[in-house]
A and B are shown apart, each in its own frame.
Chain A
Amino acid sequence: MNRRLVLMLCVLALAALPAFNALPADHPLHVPDFLVSVVGKWICYAILALAIDLAWGYAGILSLGHGAFFALGGYAIGMHLMRLIGPRGVYGHPVLPDFMVFLGYTELPWYWLGFDWFAFAFLMALVVPGLLALVVGWLAFRSRITGVYLSIITQAMTYALMLAFFRNDMGFGGNNGFTDFKELLGMPLNTGATRAVLFYASLVTLVLVFWGCAHLTQTKLGRVLTAIRDAESRTRFLGYNVTRHKLFVFVLSAMIAGLAGALYVPQVGIINPSEFSPGNSIEAVVWVAFGGRGTLVGAVLGAFSVNALKTWLTSVAPDLWLIVLGLLFVIVTLLLPKGLIGLLRRRGS
């Protein structure tokens, strides 16, 4: 009740950011665009953290490849944004994006069809990560690959995807990926108003996903997942088809990650294969561990605090930030097994 109040206040505080941004630049309460876009990015990261926490904190599936689902969601929207550039590209081709023009494509590859509709692209941002999770998850869970093995397999998955997407021949722009976006749903992307809209869209999504996850963990499914996390074999002898339950939550989690990626790309204005890099996925897991896994608030808190720290440190201590952040991870895993949230709760009680 008290906690709910705190949460609502946090959401309100976040929601106020773009409003303060709209104030004149010399107003004492003015918030610079930078902060709005950076916090918008963190919100997307928080959604990704929720996705990871749902799979790891509740069902015990530690995926080190969630960055791949995030990136796939981003690529789906990125393709839509590329299609919207239309003839405004450098080469003025009516259909093909610039990178295809200079790579000598004569027509749009088949897998680009349909992406000129926002609804289709948005759907794909959910469906493609979901399908990948379904296939990989089915293969892994069916043969009872768990724990560390699963982590390594998912890491290999994102690594393989990174290598593949780096190839220019894939038709996804290779290393440069997609940039130079112009508009989304009729709004030009480089205005404060659009930034505010995207910010609110992300915030609303975060709240909805948070609420959905909170609800899910309260249902019997949530309890089954906890049971699987703690004693998988026992759950099986109770008659639960563990493979199916894990698959369900893994696919759901991948789709949430894809959603986060879809919101992220229009805000940062670029998507490229390095989003698939295994380091990114591990980092996202670290946010969750840092904030406190197994609690949704912890995941969100972790995503915000680690990224805020990173943004700050990369400017204040460009040479030392990796060391500081690394030390922090070591200390948290060693001394705060329940993460920041565990520390806060201990303080509170």
Chain B
Amino acid sequence: MTSQGLYVDGVTVTFDGFRALNNLSLLVEPGELRAVIGPNGAGKTTMMDVITGKTRPDTGIVRFAARDLTKLDEAAIATLGIGRKFQKPTVFDALTVFENLELALKAPRGPIACLRWVLSGVARARIEATMEQIGLAARREDLAGLLSHGQRQWLEIGMLLMQEPELLLVDEPVAGMTDHETEQTAALLRGIAGTRSVVVVEHDLEFVRALDCRVTVLHEGSVLSEGSITHVQADPRVIEVYLGR
């Protein structure tokens, strides 16, 4: 298949007999923006867990940049260029905004390297630029724990950008955001896609429409439907799943 994109084939994950993912297959091209939707329990988060190495699949293939992800741990997968934003924003509360971004900055990650790390001018400039981009420049010295919910979402997106990932996995990025912020976020994600792949998991169909991309619908751990938003919304199976049986 493709050598650069994300390739998921026949992945099954069971927890105590419950099939969270059932023979799931997915292909994301380099530079593609993809939205993944589905009702609660459809397996969206588990899919992210499998890709990022948090959960090991029982069977199936997960490949990115020609590497078998099922053999790697979270850190190695992240270093490979897969960044993840969690549903609940998780930033480091005891560190400042600047330090949060500095930690995310693409750089050698080993303990000795960290010990000897000196912030270069170029790196500082990058962090400054990102802070501008996410609108937190004024709060650079504040502890992340003091930020509002929306600001934490942005900070986390900022951290994702600092990682310079090839593939971004974004879990419900606009939860708790105002309409204006939602629009901004959609624009940001659209801007990122093109140079790198982005997979967005979302409930908010308005937001998905704003993303204007290919949509995958998950149901009971496998792909129910795939295509443009209009195509998907017209699919009778999707309607059945969403509107009740």
Residues of A within 8 A of B (CB): 216, 219-221, 223-224, 226-227, 229-231, 233-242, 244-245, 248-249
Contact = CB atoms under 8 A, between A and B. Distances in A.
Query: Nearest 6 CB-CB pairs, A to B?
Result: A239-B78, A248-B111, A221-B114, A236-B74, A220-B117, A241-B75
Interface in B145-172: 159, 163
Nearest to B54: A233
Interface in B210-235: none
Interface in B75-111: 75-76, 78-79, 83-84, 86, 90-95, 99, 102-104, 109-111
A224 B110 contact: no
A242 B79 CA distance: 13
Tell me if A's interface is mostly helix, strand, loop or mixed. helix
A220 B104 contact: no
Given A236-B74, A237-B78, A238-B103, A221 B92 contact: no
Q: How large is the interface on B (under 10, 10 to 19, 20 to 34, 35 or more residues)?
A: 20 to 34
A223 B75 contact: no
Contacts of B102: 220, 223
B92 A231 contact: yes
Contact of B117 (A219, A230, A234, A239): A219
Contact of B92 (A219, A227, A237, A239): A227
B138 interface: no
A293 to B, nearest CB: 13
Contacts of A221: 111, 114-115, 117
Contacts of B104: 238
24 contacts: A219-B114, A219-B115, A219-B116, A220-B114, A223-B92, A224-B114, A226-B95, A229-B94, A230-B92, A230-B93, A231-B92, A233-B54, A235-B103, A236-B75, A236-B78, A237-B86, A238-B78, A238-B163, A239-B75, A240-B109, A241-B75, A242-B75, A244-B111, A245-B114
A248 B112 CA distance: 9
Contacts of B163: 238-239
Q: Which of A230, A231, A233, A237 has the most CB of B within 10 A?
A: A237
Contacts of A238: 78, 103-104, 159, 163
Q: Which of B90, B94, B95, B103 has the most CB of A within 10 A?
A: B103
